[in-house]
């Protein structure tokens, strides 16, 4: 599965959970997201799809912190720009 297909899968799954009011289930998924394993694009995808519901997702702040640490370590010159508007 290529990266675009993976993004589609993430967006569809999370959107379905949100529409069904299953925020706790969506939140549980966030705890397993490891930016070091999935890379920049999919990490940004997770942050984007969960942004609107950030107040209902307890694990999202921890994901933002993991994303920041990953971006600062791997692409420090772009870290701030990548997270802008997604925190």
The DSSP symbol for 53 reads T
Average pLDDT of every residue of the chain? 96
User: Residue 79: which residues within 8 A CB-CB, separation 6 or more?
Assistant: 68, 71, 72
pLDDT of 1 higher than 90: no
What average pLDDT score do residues 32-59 get?
Answer: 97
Query: pTM for this one?
Result: 0.94
Count of other CB atoms within 10 angstroms of residue 27: 18
Helix (H) or strand (E) holding 84: none
């Amino acid at each position: 599965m290529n990266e675009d297909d993976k993004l589609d899968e993430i967006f569809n799954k999370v959107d379905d959970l949100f529409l069904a009011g299953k925020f706790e289930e969506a939140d549980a998924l966030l705890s397993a997201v490891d930016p070091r394993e999935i890379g920049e694009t999919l990490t940004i995808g997770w942050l984007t799809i969960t942004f609107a519901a950030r107040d209902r997702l307890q694990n999202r702040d921890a994901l933002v912190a993991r994303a920041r640490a990953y971006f600062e370590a791997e692409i420090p010159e772009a870290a701030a720009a990548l997270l802008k508007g997604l925190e």
